[in-house]
C-alpha cells in the first residue's frame, strides 16, 4: 500500500475527522481534530494540515514537538479545548504558515520554543488567558511578523529570549500584568521595530540586556520600586536611548544621562536621592548651555522632562533655578527650549507645566499672550498697524464671561443673554436655537461652563486682531465709543481687550517680538486695541469673491443697518470705506471708530479724503491762506505721515489752484461741562480743536449726511467696479485735479455719472439720494433703507430674475446646440441626397443612352 493508505489506516477511530475534512483534489484546506493526547500525528498530517482543532476533556497537554514543522498549518482552534493547561516545548516550532494564536483560558504554561520561528505569526491574543503564568524561553523567538504583545494579568515569569528577534514587534504592554515578577535576560532584545514598552508595577527581577539592540525605542515607562531594576534597564539600553526611560510618569532622570554609570550604581541605595541628584544635574546642564538639544534623543528627553518632572510648585529650588534662567537668557535660547519638538511633533511649550508655560509666553509672545502671525500686517497706515494673532489666554477670557452665571441653569434663553453680553457672536433669534444645540454637547438642555468655553473656542477660536495705534486720542475715541455708547456687536466689532504699550513692563521684549514677526517696529505705537478676528474685509471680499449684484445688495444692506445703528446712538463714523468693513461670523460689521465723532462735534481730525463729501474740502484763495494753513499743519504734534495726509494739493495747468481738507489737530483742553448727576458745572478735560484762529477756514459740524456720502461712494464702487474718484491705497485723494473735481461737485455731475455708469435702476435711485452736493439733500439711513434697492422682496425678485436669466441662457445654449446638431445632420443628409441624385442621374443617363442606341438600330 502507498503512504496515503497507511496514513488513513493509522487514523483508526479518528482518522475520519482528518479525511472527511480534506480536499481530495488539492489539499488547500485540510482540518485535523486533536481530541486525545495519544493520537498519532503522521507525517502526511503534518505535511497537509491547514487547520488544527483541539477539543475535549482528554487533552490537557500538547506534547513536546507534536505539531512541529507543520508546513501548511494556518489556524488553531482552541474554542473547545476546555481541559488544556500546557502547550509543551516546541509544540508548534517552525510552523511557517501559522497566522494567529489565541491562548485558551485554562492554559498555565507556554513551553520553551513553543512557537519558535513561526515567521507569519502576526497576532497572539491573551485576552482570555487568565490562568497563564509562564512564557517559556525562546517561546516566540524569531516570530518576525508579530506586531504587538499585551501581557495577561497572571503571568509571573517571562523566560530568557522569549521574544528575541521579533523583527516587526512595535509594542510591549505589561500595564495589566500585575502578577509579573521576573523578566529574564535578552527577553525582548534585537526587536528593531520596537517603539514602546510599558512595565508592570510589581516586577522585581530583570535579566541583563532585555532591551538590547532595539534602535527605534521611543519610550520606556517603568514603575517605582527597587532601584536595581531601573539600573538594570538603564545599563541594557544603548547610550542614545537612555533618555527614554520614564519612572512612574515622572521622568527617570537617568534618562538625561548626566552622571556616569558607576556613580549611579554607587548611589542606588536611596531612589529619591538618586532622582534628586540627576534631576539637579540635568537642570544644570540646561542652564549652563551644555545641553543644546541638537539631537533627537536630547529633544525627546527635554520634552519628557518638562511633561513629567516639573510640578507647579514655585518653592521647588530646582524649578526656581530653571524659571530664573528662562526669564533672563537670550530670546533665541528661550525659543529653542520652547519650540523644540519630540518624535510625536509635540512642542516643549505645549507639554510644560503652568509656570514654565507662562514664562515661555512672557518671553516669546507679544505682551505675554499674543502669538502674532508671521508676515506683513493686515493693514498699515500713517497712524496704525493691524496684525492677526492668536490669544493664548482666550480660554480664560471666555471663562470670565461665564463666571457671573455659574450656579445657574443656563438654558436657551439665558444662553442668548450671555451671547448678547459677550458681543462677539450674532445673537439673532432665528440663529440661537442652532447655536444652543451645538453648544449642548451632552444634550441636557443646559450649558455648562466647559460646554460654553468649548463652544466659544470652536465658533470664534483664539484668533484676534491687534490694532496698534500711535495717537492716544484716537485710541481713547475708539474705546469710548464702544464702551460708553454700548454699541451692538451685531453692527460694530466689539473690543475684547486693550493695552498700554508706553507703560508696559515688557515693552522692549514686545517690540522685539513684534518686529521679528511682522517686520515693523512697535516703538512708535502707544496703545493696543484687541478685537475679534474677521475672516475678510470688504475690500478683499470685493476683489477675491467678486460678489454678484444680488450679493452686493445684501452686503450693502448690512452696512446700511450698521450705520443706522451708529446714527441712532448720535455717532458719526467719519471714515466709511471698504477697509473699515469686516465679516464676522457671516455678517458685515464696522471697525475703526478712531475717526468717529459725536453728532454736532467738528469733523476732520482723522479722515480718508477719497470718501469725504464736497463740503469737507477747501480752496485756498490767497498766499496768506496758504502760508497760514501750512504753518498750522507744521505746528501739530502728529507724525510726519499724518502731516503728509494734510498736504496742499495743487492742480495742473497755468492757473494753479490749491485745495485742502478742512482738517484740524486735536488737543486736550479744560472746559466747563454740566454734570447732570450733581447739577453743577465742572471743569473737565476734553479733546478740542487746536488753535482755531490758526486756520483759514471754518470747521464742518459732523452729522449723518457725512456718512451717507461716504456710503454712496462705497456703493458706487461696488456697483460699477470702479471708484467715484481716483484714490491711493488708503483711500486718499493725492491729485489736485481730482480734489478740484470733488470740491466743485454738482448734482448735475452726479446725474451724468450715474446715468452713464450705473445700469441698475434701483441702485441709481438710492445713489441719487446719497451723492447730493448739499448735505441737507442727502437722505437719512432710515429713509434710504426703505428704498426698493434694500427691500427683501426686491432682492428676492432680483434673485428670481437672475435665475430666469440663467435658465433662459441655458435654454438658449441648448437650442443653439440642437440647431447646430440639426444643421450638421441636414448637411449630412444633403450630401447623401446629392450622392443618391448623382447615382440616379447616372443610371437614367445610361438608360437613355441604351434606349437611343436601340432606336438607332431599329431605324437602321
pLDDT on residue 27: 46
Please indicate whether residue 731 or residue 28 has the higher confidence score (pLDDT): 731
pLDDT of residue 313: 54
In the prediction, which pLDDT does 826 show? 72
> Residues 658-671: what's their mean pLDDT?
85
759, pLDDT greater than 90 = yes
Q: Inform me whether the pLDDT recorded for 101 exceeds 70.
A: yes
The pLDDT of residue 236: 61
When pLDDT is cut at 50, 70 and 90, the band that residue 394 belongs to is confident
Query: Is 236 in contact with 212 (CB distance < 8 Å)?
Result: yes
In this structure, of 299-308, 462-471, 642-651, 837-846, the range with the lowest mean pLDDT score is 837-846
- The rounded distance, in Å, linking the Cα atoms of 477 and 73 is 84
With a CB cutoff of 8 Å and minimum separation 6, the contacts of 263 are none
Q: Quick one: which of 783, 608, 617, 790 has its CA closest to 710?
A: 608
Can you say whether the dihedral through the CA atoms of 596, 600, 606, 607 is positive or negative? Answer: positive
Alpha helices by DSSP H, 486-609: 507-518, 538-540, 549-568
Q: How confident is the model at residue 708 (pLDDT cuts 50, 70, 90)?
A: very high
β-strand 171-173 against 148-150: which pairing, if any?
Answer: parallel
Cα(458)–Cα(501) distance, integer angstroms: 30
90-119 burial, b if ≥16 CB within 10 A, otherwise e? bbbbbbeebeebbbbebbebbbbbbbbbbe
Decide if 682 contacts 422 (C-beta within 8 A). Answer: no
Which tops the pLDDT comparison, 88 or 512? 88
Region 683-706: what's the mean pLDDT? 85
- Output the pLDDT for position 23: 43
The answer to whether residue 194 scores a pLDDT higher than 70 is: yes
State percent of the chain over pLDDT 70.
Answer: 80
Q: Which neighbouring-strand residues pair with 134?
A: 109, 157
Q: What are phi and psi of 583, to 5 degrees?
A: -100, 120
Tally of CB atoms within 10 A around 453: 19
Q: How confident is the model at residue 3 (pLDDT cuts 50, 70, 90)?
A: very low
What phi, psi does 837 have (nearest 5°)? -60, -45
Q: Is the pLDDT of residue 455 over 70?
A: yes
Task: Starting at the earlier edge strand, list the strands of the sheet with 75-80.
Answer: 31-34, 51-55, 75-80
Q: Where are the beta strands (DSSP E) in 108-189?
A: 109-110, 123-125, 134-135, 148-150, 157-158, 171-173, 182-183
Q: How confident is the model at residue 254, as a pLDDT?
A: 35
Q: Which of 256-260, 711-715, 803-807 has the lowest mean pLDDT?
A: 256-260
Mean pLDDT of 54-83: 94
pLDDT in the model for residue 265? 36
Q: Among 526, 535, 393, which residue's Cα sits nearest to residue 469?
A: 526
- The backbone torsions φ and ψ at residue 558, rounded to the nearest 5 degrees and listed phi first, read -65, -45
* 756, burial (CB in 10 Å: exposed 0-12, middle 13-18, buried 19+): exposed
User: Which tens digits make up the pLDDT trace of 497-513?
Assistant: 888 887 776 677 788 88
Report the pLDDT value the prediction gives residue 69, as an integer from 0 to 100: 95
Per-residue pLDDT reduced to its tens digit, 217-257? 776 666 554 444 555 665 566 655 655 554 433 333 334 34
Q: Convert 41-83 into a string of H (helix), E (strand) and C (coil).
A: CCHHHHHHCCEEEEECCCCCEECCCCCCCCCCCCEEEEEECCC
Gyration radius from the chain CA atoms: 43
pLDDT value of position 706: 98
Instruction: Count the Cβ atoms, other than its own, within 10 Å of residue 531.
Output: 23
Displacement of CA 556 from its chain's centroid (Å) = 31
Other CB atoms closer than 10 Å to residue 773's CB: what's the count? 17
Give me the phi and psi of 32, to 5 degrees please: -135, 130
Handedness of CA 599, 605, 611, 612 (dihedral sign): positive
Long-range contacts formed by 154-159: CB under 8 A, 24+ apart: 154/130, 154/179, 155/179, 155/180, 156/180, 156/181, 156/182, 157/133, 157/181, 157/182, 157/184, 158/182, 158/183, 158/184, 158/187, 159/112, 159/134, 159/135, 159/184, 159/187
* Sign of the Cα pseudo-torsion (469, 470, 473, 474, in order): negative
The Cα–Cα gap between 442 and 33 comes to 53
Which H/E stretch holds residue 658?
A: strand 658-661
Q: Contact, 593 vs 520, CB < 8 A? A: no
pLDDT of residue 562: 96
The pLDDT of 762-788, averaged and rounded, is 97
Q: Which of 860, 651, 676 is nearest to 738 (CA)?
A: 651
In whole angstroms, how far apart are CA 784 and each of 569, 580, 617, 708, 755? 18, 21, 25, 9, 19
pLDDT at 93 over 50: yes
Instruction: Provide the edge-to-edge strand list for the sheet that holds 245-247.
Output: 148-150, 171-173, 196-198, 219-222, 245-247, 250-251
379-380 and 384-391: which strand pairing? antiparallel
List residues bridging with 674 in a β-sheet.
681
pLDDT number for residue 572 = 96
Cell output for 205: 527581577
CA-CA distances (angstroms) from residue 720 to 398, 488, 542, 571, 715?
A: 43, 31, 12, 29, 9
CB 165 within 8 A of CB 190: yes
Please, are residues 473 and 689 in contact by the beta-carbon 8 Å criterion?
no
First to last CA, the chain: 108
When comparing pLDDT for 711 and 292, which is higher?
711
Pick left, alpha or beta for residue 523 (phi over 0 → left; psi -120 to 50 → alpha; otherwise beta). Answer: alpha
Confirm if 379 and 466 have CB atoms less than 8 A apart. Answer: no
Average pLDDT over all residues of the chain: 82
Query: For residue 649, what are the β-bridge partners?
Result: 659
- Mean pLDDT (whole number) for 478-506: 81
Kindly give, in sequence order, each residue whose CB lies less than 8 Å from that of residue 723, ignoring residues fewer than 6 positions away.
Answer: 610, 713, 716, 717
Residue-level pLDDT at 456: 84
Question: 3-class DSSP state for residue 827?
Answer: helix
Checking if the pLDDT of 630 tops 70, the result is yes
614 and 741 Cβ atoms separated by less than 8 Å: no
| CA–CA gap between residue 98 and residue 116 (Å, rounded) | 11
Q: Dump pLDDT digits (tens) for 290-349.
A: 778 877 767 777 887 787 655 555 567 778 888 899 988 888 899 899 989 877 788 988
Give the Cα separation of 59 and 83 in Å (integer): 6
Q: Is residue 726 very low, low, confident or very high in pLDDT (cuts 50, 70, 90)?
A: very high
Q: Residue 98: name the closest of 123, 120, 77, 128 by CA.
A: 120
Cα-based distances in Å from 34 to 30, 31, 51, 586: 13, 10, 11, 71
CB under 8 Å, gap of 24 or more: what pairs does 507-512 form?
A: 509/331, 509/362, 509/363, 510/366, 510/367, 512/331
Question: What are the C-alpha distances in Å from 778 to residues 184, 558, 604, 661?
Answer: 93, 19, 19, 21
pLDDT band for position 858 (cuts 50, 70, 90): low
Range name among 95-109, 228-242, 378-392, 533-547 with the lowest pLDDT average: 228-242
Out of 315-324, 410-419, 819-828, least confident range: 819-828
Q: What is the DSSP letter of 493?
A: P
Alpha helices in 372-471 (DSSP H): 394-402, 412-422, 429-439, 449-459
| Residue at grid coordinates 516550532 | 93
- Cβ–Cβ < 8 Å for 152, 174: no
Q: Is the pTM of this model over 0.85?
A: no
Going from the C-alpha of 131 to that of each of 86, 103, 127, the distances in angstroms are: 11, 10, 11
Would you say 684 and 671 are in contact if contact means Cβ atoms under 8 Å apart?
Answer: yes
d(CA 353, CA 366): 20
Per-residue pLDDT at 10 exceeds 60: no
Instruction: Tell me if 188 sits within 8 A of 210, measured CB to CB.
Output: yes
**Poorest-confidence range of 342-346, 503-507, 609-613, 778-782?**
503-507
Rounded to the nearest 10 degrees, how much is the dihedral formed by the CA atoms of 320, 324, 327, 333?
Answer: -100
Q: What is the pLDDT of residue 588?
A: 93
Alpha-carbon span 726 to 418, nearest angstrom: 45
Amino acid at each position: 500500500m502507498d503512504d496515503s493508505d497507511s496514513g488513513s489506516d493509522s487514523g483508526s477511530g479518528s482518522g475520519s475527522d482528518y479525511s472527511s475534512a480534506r480536499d481530495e483534489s488539492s489539499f488547500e484546506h485540510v482540518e485535523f481534530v486533536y481530541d486525545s493526547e495519544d493520537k498519532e500525528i503522521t507525517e502526511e498530517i503534518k505535511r497537509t494540515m491547514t487547520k488544527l482543532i483541539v477539543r475535549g476533556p482528554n487533552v490537557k497537554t500538547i506534547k513536546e514537538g507534536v505539531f512541529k514543522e507543520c508546513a501548511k498549518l494556518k489556524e488553531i482552534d482552541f474554542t473547545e479545548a476546555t481541559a488544556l493547561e500546557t502547550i509543551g516545548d516546541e509544540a508548534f516550532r517552525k510552523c511557517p504558515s501559522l497566522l494567529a494564536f489565541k491562548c485558551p483560558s485554562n492554559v498555565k504554561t507556554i513551553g520553551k520554543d513553543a512557537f519558535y520561528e513561526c515567521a507569519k505569526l502576526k497576532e497572539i491574543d491573551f485576552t482570555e488567558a487568565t490562568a497563564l503564568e509562564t512564557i517559556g524561553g525562546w517561546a516566540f523567538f524569531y516570530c518576525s511578523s508579530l506586531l504587538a504583545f499585551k501581557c495577561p494579568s497572571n503571568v509571573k515569569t517571562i523566560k530568557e529570549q522569549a521574544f528575541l528577534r521579533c523583527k516587526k514587534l512595535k509594542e510591549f504592554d505589561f500595564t495589566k500584568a500585575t502578577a509579573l515578577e521576573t523578566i529574564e535576560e535578552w527577553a525582548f532584545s534585537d526587536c528593531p521595530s520596537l517603539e514602546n514598552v510599558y512595565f508592570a508595577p510589581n516586577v522585581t527581577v530583570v535579566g541583563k540586556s532585555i532591551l538590547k539592540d532595539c534602535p527605534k525605542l521611543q519610550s520606556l515607562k517603568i514603575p517605582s520600586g527597587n532601584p536595581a531594576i531601573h539600573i538594570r534597564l538603564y545599563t541594557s539600553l544603548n547610550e542614545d536611548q537612555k533618555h527614554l526611560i520614564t519612572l512612574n510618569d515622572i521622568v527617570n532622570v537617568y534618562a538625561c544621562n548626566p552622571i556616569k554609570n558607576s556613580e549611579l550604581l554607587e548611589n542606588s541605595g536611596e531612589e529619591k536621592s538618586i532622582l534628586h541628584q540627576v534631576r539637579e544635574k540635568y537642570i544644570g546642564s540646561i542652564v549652563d548651555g551644555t545641553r543644546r538639544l541638537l539631537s533627537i534623543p536630547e529633544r525627546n528627553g527635554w520634552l519628557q522632562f518638562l511633561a513629567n518632572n516639573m510640578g507647579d510648585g514655585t518653592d521647588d529650588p530646582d524649578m526656581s533655578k530653571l524659571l530664573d534662567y528662562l526669564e533672563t537668557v537670550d530670546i533665541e535660547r528661550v525659543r529653542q527650549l520652547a519650540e523644540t519638538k519630540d518624535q510625536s511633533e509635540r512642542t516643549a511649550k505645549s507639554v510644560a507645566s503652568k509656570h514654565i508655560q507662562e514664562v515661555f509666553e512672557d518671553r516669546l509672545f507679544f505682551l505675554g499672550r499674543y502669538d502674532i502671525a508671521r508676515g506683513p500686517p493686515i493693514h498699515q497706515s500713517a497712524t496704525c498697524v493691524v496684525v492677526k494673532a492668536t490669544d493664548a489666554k482666550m480660554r480664560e477670557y471666555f471663562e470670565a464671561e461665564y463666571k457671573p452665571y455659574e450656579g445657574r441653569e443656563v438654558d436657551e434663553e439665558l444662553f442668548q443673554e450671555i451671547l448678547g453680553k459677550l458681543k462677539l457672536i450674532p445673537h439673532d433669534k432665528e440663529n440661537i436655537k442652532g447655536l444652543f444645540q451645538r453648544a449642548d454637547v451632552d444634550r441636557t438642555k443646559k450649558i455648562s461652563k466647559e460646554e460654553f468655553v468649548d463652544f466659544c473656542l470652536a465658533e470664534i477660536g483664539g484668533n484676534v486682531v491687534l490694532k496698534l495705534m500711535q495717537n492716544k486720542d484716537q485710541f481713547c475715541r475708539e474705546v469710548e465709543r464702544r464702551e460708553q455708547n454700548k454699541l451692538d456687536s451685531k453692527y460694530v466689532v466689539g473690543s475684547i481687550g486693550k493695552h498700554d504699550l508706553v507703560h508696559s513692563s515688557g515693552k522692549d521684549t514686545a517690540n522685539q517680538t513684534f518686529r521679528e514677526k511682522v517686520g515693523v517696529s512697535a516703538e512708535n505705537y502707544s496703545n493696543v486695541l484687541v478685537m475679534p478676528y474677521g475672516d475678510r474685509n470688504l475690500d478683499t471680499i470685493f476683489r477675491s469673491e467678486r460678489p454678484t449684484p444680488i450679493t452686493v445688495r445684501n452686503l450693502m444692506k448690512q452696512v446700511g443697518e450698521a450705520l443706522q445703528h451708529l446714527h441712532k446712538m448720535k455717532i458719526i463714523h467719519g471714515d466709511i470705506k471698504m477697509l473699515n468693513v469686516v465679516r464676522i461670523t457671516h455678517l458685515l460689521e464696522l471697525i475703526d471708530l478712531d475717526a468717529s465723532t459725536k453728532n454736532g462735534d467738528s469733523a476732520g481730525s482723522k479722515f480718508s479724503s477719497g470718501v469725504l463729501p464736497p463740503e469737507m474740502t477747501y480752496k485756498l484763495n490767497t498766499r496768506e491762506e496758504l502760508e497760514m494753513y501750512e504753518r498750522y499743519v507744521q505746528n501739530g504734534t502728529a507724525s510726519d505721515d499724518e502731516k503728509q495726509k494734510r498736504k496742499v494739493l495743487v492742480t495742473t495747468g497755468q492757473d494753479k489752484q490749491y485745495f485742502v481738507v478742512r482738517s484740524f489737530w486735536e488737543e486736550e483742553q479744560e472746559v466747563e461741562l454740566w454734570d447732570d448727576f450733581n447739577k453743577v458745572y465742572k471743569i473737565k478735560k476734553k479733546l478740542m480743536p487746536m488753535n482755531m484762529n490758526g486756520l483759514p477756514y471754518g470747521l464742518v459740524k459732523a452729522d449723518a449726511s457725512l456718512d451717507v456720502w461716504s456710503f454712496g461712494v462705497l456703493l458706487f464702487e461696488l456697483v460699477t467696479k470702479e471708484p467715484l474718484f481716483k484714490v491711493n491705497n488708503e483711500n486718499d485723494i493725492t491729485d489736485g485735479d481730482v480734489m478740484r473735481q470733488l470740491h466743485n461737485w454738482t448734482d448735475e455731475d452726479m446725474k451724468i455719472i450715474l446715468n452713464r455708469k450705473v445700469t441698475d435702476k434701483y441702485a441709481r435711485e438710492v445713489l441719487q439720494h446719497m451723492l447730493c452736493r448739499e448735505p441737507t439733500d442727502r437722505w437719512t439711513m432710515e429713509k434710504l433703507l426703505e428704498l426698493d434697492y434694500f427691500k427683501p422682496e426686491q432682492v428676492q425678485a432680483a434673485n428670481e430674475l437672475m435665475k430666469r436669466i440663467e435658465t433662459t441662457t441655458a435654454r438658449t445654449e441648448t437650442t443653439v446646440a440642437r440647431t447646430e446638431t440639426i444643421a450638421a445632420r441636414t448637411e449630412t443628409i444633403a450630401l447623401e441626397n446629392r450622392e443618391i441624385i448623382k447615382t440616379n442621374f447616372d443610371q437614367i443617363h445610361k438608360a437613355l443612352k441604351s434606349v437611343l442606341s436601340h432606336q438607332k438600330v431599329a431605324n437602321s
